[in-house]
Structure 1
Amino acid sequence: MYLLVSDDYFITSYRINELIDKYPKAEIIRFDLNEDVFKEVLDTLNTFNLFNDKRILIIYNCENITEINNLEKYFNNPNKDNILLMIANNLDERKKITKILKKHLKELDNKVNIDQIIIDKLDDFKRDKKTRDYFINYCNYDNYKIMNELTKLKLYNYDKQIITIEDINKITPKSIDDNIFHLVDYIIKKDKSKSLEIYNNIILYGEEPIKIMIIVANKIRLIYQVKVLLKELTLEEIAKHLNSHIYPIKLAKEISYSYSEQELIEYLTKLSELDIKIKQGQIMADIGFKLFILEL
């Protein structure tokens, strides 16, 4: 019997698929306690399976369980045909349901090592660490996108059994964040022409000006945070502190050397003031952001 505490879709799917791979012949039954009645869950748990040796029962939003006594009775005498996975978005440590779940269930790791997953998935393919790091960065550290694009790369290179940076550039589409990191760099360098060029290109892909502005502000904030935290922490400690992958921290570190803390704060202040003006209807987002660039 297992417990997973996570609101990350990729991690939840990954842990579920691990169980399914472990018991490929098992029947899979899913309940969502935002919609289903817990009595139905208990009835299913206590029903013996006549057709399969094993059943995987996946219970979403288990933090909503109120029939704690009935649940604990089952935990004390579980049906051995069941592989139970209970999933919670989050748990309040003060509540009784949390204590019961953690007492009886084995808690699964709610973090994944994406580097190791790539290594495992590409076990039969030739590749190196430089290519792997490039691929993770190219996918903007989005685990879900990494797994989807990894499948495409394997199919594309099935015959030659090797994946190169050229293959990644050819097969994997660039995300908005890739262009935005370049945009941030040119904004901080005060290169108005290049900044406007990249901004207009992103707009052509259908992105909203307000979304671009928010992501730019988040990138600059990350550079500032890394610059400040580097005084006392290592890159690995900063990544853990900010709950981030190590690679964007490394990129932010490299950029941070070129600019002072005061410069970064000034950009964040200007973007915050622009955000207020847009929300108050004083200026349109597209015009406001272009003026922000032209006034660099």
Structure 2
Amino acid sequence: MQHTEILNKNLDQLDSVYLIYGEDRYLIEEFIEGFTDKFASKELKDFNLNIIEEDEQLVNSLINSVKTLPFMTEKRIVIVYTYDLFKKKVKDAEIIYNLLADFPESTILLFVSYQQPKKSLKIFKEVKKVGKVLKFEALKYKKLDDWIANKIKSYGYQIENSAITLLEEAFNNDLQRLDSEINKIITFMGADKFITTSHIEGIISKDWLIEDNIVFDFVDAIGRKNTSLALKLLSDIMQQGTDAKQILGMIARQIRLMLQSKLLSNERLTVDQIAKRLNQHPYPIKKCLQQSHNFSVDSLELALEKLFETDCRLVTGSDKNLEMELLVIRLKEAI
């Protein structure tokens, strides 16, 4: 069932119990916001909406909330953010199972999990039996393109395809960050209602444009054993005030993505197949594969080890500038 179908229903058409899960918190929270805005009267939300976190008091809190009668409406809504309930057998799960088996018609219960549920659990099977299970997957390809275009359209603007691609290159499918950058773009657009690549390049966070390109060029310089260029690029990014550990994280991400892409390419997967497997946009995968020609699988694995060793030295209080410069030498030797 599509999530939008549920939001198009009337209150009396809803199921009593839902499990909402997935790793994309933005989509889940967007759905919950839409759900509560439509089905919980704004004036009576304090009386008819309960939000519960899974803790030692979960059973008592849940029973009390579920069995409380709604105030001046047909149904009340209870939202439970879970951690272990759908992941493993937990204490008192049987009590919750029995509650679901004889659930009051006056309440709508939403279980929320940011993890993949264990489908063999008795409680998962019961939710599926008496209600609905909704999975929120990270958006990719055309769905991500459409999300960006529709978000832009909701503000009364249009955007060219190449500008959508640039946003995806910058922020992948991080909807929270995309939403923030789109808001920024709209703020600066003024009377011009058509967004182009030039607009995007002029408005979106310069720190991404600078850091992402420098990290890519830095790794490329390492692969070409151009130590002087690598040191210069490292100096450039550190002079911007970027923390040493943050730089390590960006370099590690680039090398890790390159390693994963190279391994999958060795299995004869296409760029699109690799992107799908790694939950990435195809563009950075294509760039990684091009860059990986200067690296072997063993050298990439060794480079990750050197990054980890440098990270440990930074934790123990070693001189940051010296350690980062030595990292260049160690990475060059690893390649």
TM-score of the aligned structures, taking structure 1 as reference length:
0.82
Q: In the alignment, residue 149 of structure 1 is paired with which amino acid?
A: E
Shift of the alpha carbon at 1:242? 2.8
Aligned: 1:33 with 2:54: yes
Instruction: Tell me the residue number matched to 1:50.
Output: 71
DSSP-derived class of the 2:165 partner:
helix
TM-score of the aligned structures, taking structure 2 as reference length:
0.74
Aligned: 1:237 with 2:273: yes
Cα distance in 2 for partners of 1:206, 1:101 equals 50
Structure 2 unaligned spans of 5+:
1-16
DSSP-derived class of the 2:137 partner:
coil
Change (3 A) 1:181 1:10: farther
1:117 corresponds, among 147, 161, 166, to 147
Aligned: 1:88 with 2:113: yes
DSSP-derived class of the 1:202 partner:
helix
Q: How many residues align?
A: 295
User: More deviation in 130-139 or 20-29?
Assistant: 20-29
Q: In the alignment, residue 99 of structure 1 is paired with which amino acid?
A: K
Q: In the alignment, residue 264 of structure 1 is paired with which amino acid?
A: L
Q: In the alignment, residue 219 of structure 1 is paired with which amino acid?
A: Q
Q: How does 1:143-158 map to 2 (within 5 A)?
A: 143-157=175-189
% identical equivalent positions = 25
Q: In the alignment, residue 167 of structure 2 is paired with which amino acid?
A: F
Q: How does 1:202-281 map to 2 (within 5 A)?
A: 202-231=237-266, 232-261=268-297, 263-265=299-301, 267-275=303-311
Cα distance in 2 for partners of 1:23, 1:116 equals 26
DSSP-derived class of the 2:41 partner:
coil
Instruction: Tell me the residue number matched to 2:202.
Output: 170
- Supply the RMSD in Å over aligned alpha carbons: 3.1
Q: Identify the structure with the greater helix proportion.
A: 2
Cα distance in 2 for partners of 1:195, 1:17 equals 47
Aligned: 1:23 with 2:4: no
Instruction: Tell me the residue number matched to 2:164.
Output: 132
1:186 corresponds, among 221, 224, 246, to 221
DSSP-derived class of the 1:230 partner:
helix
Shift of the alpha carbon at 1:224? 2.1
User: Residues 180 and 216 of structure 1 are in contact (CA less than 8 Å); yes or no, is this contact kept in structure 2?
Assistant: yes
Cα distance in 2 for partners of 1:207, 1:276 equals 18
Q: Deviations over 1:95-134 (max 9, x none)?
A: 4333333433422223132333212212342212211010
Cα distance in 2 for partners of 1:200, 1:140 equals 27
User: More deviation in 224-233 or 253-262?
Assistant: 253-262
Shift of the alpha carbon at 1:286? 2.9
User: Residues 60 and 86 of structure 1 are in contact (CA less than 8 Å); yes or no, is this contact kept in structure 2?
Assistant: yes
Shift of the alpha carbon at 1:164? 1.9
Instruction: Tell me the residue number matched to 2:20.
Output: 4
Shift of the alpha carbon at 1:77? 4.5
Structure 1 unaligned spans of 5+:
none
Shift of the alpha carbon at 1:144? 1.4
Cα distance in 2 for partners of 1:32, 1:15 equals 18
User: Residues 235 and 249 of structure 1 are in contact (CA less than 8 Å); yes or no, is this contact kept in structure 2?
Assistant: yes
Change (3 A) 1:7 1:109: closer
